[in-house]
């Protein structure tokens, strides 16, 4: 099953995804896309690490998400990807503008063939004002297009607000 958990900052989306991974009763591999490049991001990473069970496997991959999914997806495993918008940011910051398209397409094309459970976490950024800067507007557009494409492919899509899940597609939680 493919699941997409969306929400704003501190909406409870990661906590919900971690609960779904635990409830799957499968071995869990947490795929972290962040790059703790400053103190604030390092603190966020520390907070997430402390909350996760110690027996979960961890893969840190900021760019090649499709490759990591293909290499690690198994029928007896739940992969938890946190988060897609950080992954998208990493791609937008690369020197090669074609890399984002290649990595996004690779992700979308590999999903149908992956066994096991996969839970994606991503920030819903399209509910606010239109950003002023070109890069920020591109980020919001790319995130929106990615979310739409993933939502088509996922069996369950959930929007999390104030820690409460609102099921948009699939079986309610």
pLDDT tens for each residue of 91-116: 999 999 899 999 999 999 999 999 99
Question: Average pLDDT of the chain?
Answer: 94
CA pair distance 64, 33, nearest whole angstrom: 9
Tokens of 5: 């958990």
pLDDT above 90 (res 53)? yes
128 labeled binding residue:
no
Q: Kindly state the average pLDDT of the residues 51-58.
A: 93
Q: Give the C-alpha distances (Å, rounded to integers) separating 108 from 50, 53, 66, 98, 150.
A: 31, 29, 8, 16, 7
Specify the pLDDT at position 25: 97
52 labeled binding residue:
yes
pLDDT above 80 (res 45)? no
pLDDT above 80 (res 130)? no
Angle between helix axes 13-23 and 39-51 (nearest 10 degrees) is: 30
Task: Assess contact for 83 and 14: CB atoms under 8 A.
Answer: yes
pLDDT above 80 (res 36)? no
Query: Domain-by-domain residue ranges, the chain?
Result: 2-169
Characterize the bridge pairing of strands 2-7 and 156-161. parallel
SS3 14: helix
Specify the pLDDT at position 41: 76
Q: Which of 117, 137, 119 is nearest to 128 (CA)?
A: 137
49 labeled binding residue:
yes
24 labeled binding residue:
no
Q: Which of 85, 84, 64, 65 is nearest to 139 (CA)?
A: 85
Give me the helices (H) in the chain, please.
13-23, 39-51, 65-72, 84-92, 98-110, 134-153
Say what the pTM is. 0.94
Q: Which residue has the higher pLDDT, 48 or 124?
A: 124
pLDDT tens for each residue of 3-34: 999 999 889 999 999 999 999 999 999 999 98
Catalytic residue numbers? Answer: 48
pLDDT above 90 (res 58)? yes
Q: Which residue has the higher pLDDT, 41 or 123?
A: 123
Decide which of 1.10.3720.10, 3.40.50.970, 1.10.600.10, 3.40.50.300 is the CATH code for 2-169: 3.40.50.300
Q: What are phi and psi of 32, to 5 degrees?
A: -95, 130
Specify the pLDDT at position 80: 98
Q: Give CA angle at 86 (83, 91), nearest 5°.
A: 125
pLDDT above 80 (res 129)? no
């Amino acid at each position: 099953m493919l699941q997409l958990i969306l929400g704003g900052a501190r909406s409870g989306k990661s906590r919900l995804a971690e609960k779904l991974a635990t409830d799957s009763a499968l071995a869990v591999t947490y795929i972290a896309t962040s790059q703790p490049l400053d103190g604030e991001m390092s603190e966020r990473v520390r907070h997430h690490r402390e909350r996760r069970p110690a027996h979960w496997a961890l893969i840190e991959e900021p760019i090649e998400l499709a490759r990591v999914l293909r290499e690690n997806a198994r029928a007896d495993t739940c992969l938890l990807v946190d988060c897609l918008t950080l992954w998208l940011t990493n791609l937008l910051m690369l020197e090669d503008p074609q890399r984002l398209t290649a990595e996004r397409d690779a992700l979308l094309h590999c999903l149908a063939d992956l066994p096991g459970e996969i839970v994606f976490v991503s920030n819903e950024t399209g509910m606010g004002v239109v950003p002023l800067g070109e890069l920020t507007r591109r980020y919001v557009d790319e995130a929106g297009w990615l979310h739409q494409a993933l939502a088509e492919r996922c069996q369950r899509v959930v929007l999390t607000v104030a820690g409460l899940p609102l099921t948009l597609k699939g079986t309610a939680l």
